[in-house]
Amino acid sequence: MPGKQMAIDADLSAGMITEDQARAKRAELEAESGFYGAMDGASKFVKGDAIASVVITGINILVGLTIGVVLHGLPFGEAFRTYTILTAGEGLVSQIPALIVSTAAGLLVSKGGARGKTGMALSEQLGRYPQAFAIVGALLAALALAPGLPFLPFALLAAGCGWLSWSLGQTAARRRADELAVSIIEAEKSAAEAAEPIAETLAIDAVRIELGYALLPLINDSNSEPRLDDQVRALRRQLAADYGFVLPAVRILDNMTLPPHQYLVFVRGTEAARGEIRIDKLLVINPGGAPLGLAGETAREPVFGLPALWIDRSLRDEAALRGLTTVTCGTVVTTHLTEVVKANLPDLLTYTETQKLLTEVHRDVEKLVAEIIPSKITVSAVQRVLQTLLAEEISIRDIPTILEGIAEAVSFTQSIRFIAEHVRARLARQISAQHTRDGVIPVLLLGARWDEAFSEAIVGQGDERQLAMAPDLVQRFIDTVARALDRWAERGEIPCLLTNPALRPFVRSVIERARPATVVLSQSEIHPRVRVRALGTLDDDSATAAAA
C-alpha cells in the first residue's frame, strides 16, 4: 500500500495525472486497504471457528466410541454407527453459531472501505447487481423441485428473490435514465458556456515538456532507459538541494503536431528551448569536430550546440574503448531541462513559493520573520531579493542568514538591489566556496581605469543611483572582458571578475547582457579564509578618455 501511495504521488508530481485523478486513486486505494483489513480481521474469527468445529467433531467420535465400547459394552461397529450419527447431529446444531459468525464476518467485509452507515453500505451493495438475486432465486427454485426437500419454503424464497431482482432492475434502469438526462443537460450547459473563460484553461504550467510521438517511450516502461519522469523527479530533488527551493511540478505531455523526434520545453507557457533526439540511439559529443570513426548520424547536441553523433546502441562498448562518452536520450532531455531551469530560476520563484519558504522557515528565525514582515519589508520585496540572488545562481537554501541580512539592510535602504548586495556579503562563505577551485578563486581585477570609468558614469544619490555609461564605452568594456576571458579559457582557466562592492551591481548589469555566465564578485563577498589568485587586470587605454 505505501508503494502504491508513493506511485500516485510521483505521477502527480510529474504532472501525469491531475489533482482530481490523484484524489480518486487515493480514495480507491483507501477502500481497497479497508476491504483487505476487514477481510483479514474477519477471517481470523471464521478460521478459529472452523478449526474448533473439526477438532470437536474428532473428539466426539473418539470419546463416543470409547464410551460405547467400554462403558456400555457395545460392539465396535454398532458403537461407531451410533456415535457417528450423534456427532453428525451435534455438528449440524453447531452450524447455527457458525452461520452467525460467518454472517457477521460477511457484514464486516462488506462494510470495510465503504463510507457511511453499515445498513446503507449493505443495501447499496446488495442492490447494485440485480442479477445476483436472479441467480439465487433460480438456485432456490431448483432446490424446491429437488426430491426430499420441502417445496413451499424454497418456493417462497425463490419468488422473493425473483421479485427483488425485478424491482432492483427497474430501479437501476430509472437511475440510469435520470443520470443520462442529467449528463445531457450538463453537456448542453457546457456547450453554452464554452465561450466563457475557464480557469483551468487559463492556468499556466511553471515548466512543461512536450514530446513528439516517437519520444513517448521515454515516459513508459517499453524503454530500457530510466523513465523520463523518474529522471525529472531526481532533477527536482537535486535542484532543491542546490538552490534551496522546490521546483514546481514538471508536466510532461505528448504533442502530435511536433515532428516525431522533437521536444519542447516551456517556462510559464512560453517556449524556452527545443531539441531533437533519436529514441533508439546514443549521443556521442564531439567538441573538436574531428572524425570519430564510428558509423552514425551527425547532429548538434541540443543543449550547448556542440557537434555530436548519434550512434547505434550496439556501438556503446566500442565508443567507451575509444574514450568517448555516450549519453542516453533521457539524459539529453534532462540536461537541457536543467540548463533551462537554471536560466529561469527567478521566474520560477513565485510569490506563493516565497510565502511557503517563509512559512516553513526554521523556528529559530520565526521571531525575525514576524519582526520584519510586513512592518519593514513585504513578502513581494523578499521575493525580489531572492530572485536577484537566484539570477546569479546563488543558493537561497541558507534562508536564516538571508533573512538576517535583509533585516540589517532594511534599516538603511529600501532598494532591492542594495539589499541583495548586503545579503551577498553575508553569504560570503557560501559564495566563495561556490567559486573556489582547488582552494583558490582565480580572478581578473577590474583595474583602476575601468574602476574610474564606472564610478564617473554613476548618477544619482543613495538608492537612486543608476549607471549612465555611454553605449560605445559599454561595448568597449564588454569586448575587453570577452577577450580576457577567452584568452584565459584557452589556458583552462575560468576566472571571476573582481570589483569593489559599490560597483559590483553596475558591472554585473553590463556584463550579463553579453556574457550572463560570467561571475562578478566584490571584495566583500570573498571570505577571509579563501585564497585569491589574480590572473591579471582589465585595462583599456580608451577607458579614461571615453569617461572624460
Q: Is residue 547 over pLDDT 50?
A: no
Q: What is the pLDDT of residue 494?
A: 87
What SS3 class is residue 400?
helix
Q: Is residue 544 over pLDDT 60?
A: no
Bridge partners (DSSP) of residue 493 are none
Q: Is residue 10 over pLDDT 60?
A: yes
Q: Is residue 1 over pLDDT 50?
A: yes
Q: What is the pLDDT of residue 448?
A: 87
Question: Nine-digit cell at 312?
Answer: 547505434
Bridge partners (DSSP) of residue 311 are 282, 296
85 phi and psi angles, rounded to 5 deg? -65, -40
- Reported as a pLDDT band with limits 50, 70 and 90, residue 146 is confident
Instruction: Give mean pLDDT, residues 158-173.
Output: 85
Cα distance between residue 42 and residue 36, in whole Å: 10
Winning range, highest mean pLDDT, from 57-61, 127-131, 235-239: 235-239
- Reported as a pLDDT band with limits 50, 70 and 90, residue 388 is very high
Q: What angle do CA 115, 120, 124 make, to 5 degrees?
A: 95
Q: Quick one: which of 127, 136, 135, 129 has its CA closest to 157? A: 136
Residue recorded with cell 456400555: 72
- Kindly report which listed range (121-135, 147-161, 196-210) carries the lowest average pLDDT score: 196-210
Q: What is the pLDDT of residues 186-240, one digit of tens each?
A: 766 665 555 445 555 566 888 999 998 888 888 876 556 778 888 888 988 998 8
Cα distance between residue 94 and residue 100, in whole Å: 10
What SS3 class is residue 536?
strand
Alpha helix stretches (DSSP H) within 67-116: 76-111
Q: What is the pLDDT of residue 545?
A: 35
Q: What is the pLDDT of residues 496-506, one digit of tens each?
A: 999 988 889 99
Q: Quick one: which of 348, 349, 326 has its CA closest to 337? A: 348
Spacing of C-alpha 401 from chain mean position:
28
Order across the sheet with 496-499: list the strands. Answer: 520-522, 496-499, 440-445, 531-537
Mind giving me the DSSP string for 312-337? EGGGHHHHHHTTPPEE-HHHHHHHHH
Residue 43 near residue 105 (C-beta atoms within 8 A)? yes
Q: Quick one: which of 216, 333, 330, 332 has its CA closest to 284? A: 332
Q: Is residue 181 over pLDDT 80?
A: no
Residue 129 near residue 171 (C-beta atoms within 8 A)? no
Q: How many helices (H) and strands (E) does the chain have?
A: 21, 14
Cα distance between residue 346 and residue 65, in whole Å: 90
Q: What is the pLDDT of residue 543?
A: 36
Give percent of the chain with pLDDT exceeding 70: 82
Q: Quick one: which of 160, 169, 50 has its CA closest to 105? A: 50
Q: What is the pLDDT of residue 356?
A: 85
Give percent of the chain with pLDDT exceeding 90: 13
- Kindly report which listed range (65-79, 382-396, 401-415, 498-512) carries the lowest average pLDDT score: 65-79
Cα distance between residue 336 and residue 276, in whole Å: 11
Higher model confidence: residue 203 or residue 143? 143
Radius of gyration of the chain (CA): 38
Q: How far is CA 433 from CA 20, 387, 395, 500, 525, in A?
A: 44, 21, 12, 19, 11
List, in sequence order, every beta strand (DSSP E) within 225-319.
250-254, 262-267, 270-276, 281-285, 296-300, 307-312
Residue 184 near residue 149 (C-beta atoms within 8 A)? no
Q: Is residue 20 over pLDDT 80?
A: no
Cα distance between residue 179 and residue 185, in whole Å: 10
pLDDT, mean over the chain: 81
Q: Is residue 265 over pLDDT 90?
A: yes
pTM greater than the 0.85 cutoff: no
- Reported as a pLDDT band with limits 50, 70 and 90, residue 324 is confident
Q: How far is CA 299 from CA 250, 303, 310, 317, 430, in A?
A: 27, 12, 7, 21, 39
- Reported as a pLDDT band with limits 50, 70 and 90, residue 542 is very low
Residue recorded with cell 525580489: 384
Higher model confidence: residue 291 or residue 281? 281
Bridge partners (DSSP) of residue 429 are none
Cα distance between residue 267 and residue 344, in whole Å: 8
381 C-beta neighbours (distance < 10 Å), count: 18
280 phi and psi angles, rounded to 5 deg? -100, 15
Q: How far is CA 77 from CA 69, 72, 81, 82, 482, in A?
A: 10, 13, 6, 9, 112
Q: What is the pLDDT of residue 54?
A: 79
